[in-house]
Amino acid sequence: MKNFSPARKRIEVSPGESVRIIRELQGLSQTQLSALCGIPQTTLSSIENGRVNLGVERAKTLARALRCHPAVLVFPGWDVADQSAA
């Protein structure tokens, strides 16, 4: 067990990709998520494809529907050790 190295982040994930990943992990279609949160399916598609910014209010709405913290959606690649909040 002495010869191991910590896992490294392999890819960057955008907020839209984070929404898609969490939605798919929960087995939801965009239509089903739209029904849960009230955001139109076309807007969800645009968010997931990076054409529309997620925004704080939409992140809160989606987080409630996806049962996760909004920060998971807004800041998917945040690393406290590497980045400052200021």
Which pairs count as long-range contacts for 11-18, CB under 8 Å and 24+ apart, including other chains?
A: 12/77, 13/76, 13/77, 14/50, 14/76, 15/47, 15/53, 15/54, 15/59, 15/73, 15/74, 15/75, 15/76, 16/47, 16/48, 16/49, 16/50, 16/54, 17/48, 17/76, 18/72, 18/73, 18/76
Render each residue's pLDDT in the chain as its tens digit; 86 residues: 577 676 666 778 899 999 999 999 999 999 999 999 999 999 999 999 999 999 999 999 999 999 999 999 998 877 666 655 55
Tell me whether residue 2 is in a domain: no
The structure's pTM equals 0.79
Tell me whether residue 23 is in a domain: yes
Number of domains in the chain: 1
Q: What is the pLDDT of residue 46?
A: 98
Tell me whether residue 9 is in a domain: no
Q: Find the domain containing 60 and state its range.
A: 15-74
Tell me whether residue 65 is in a domain: yes
Tell me whether residue 3 is in a domain: no
Tell me whether residue 42 is in a domain: yes
Q: What is the pLDDT of residue 82?
A: 61
At 22, which CATH number?
A: 1.10.260.40
DSSP 79: -
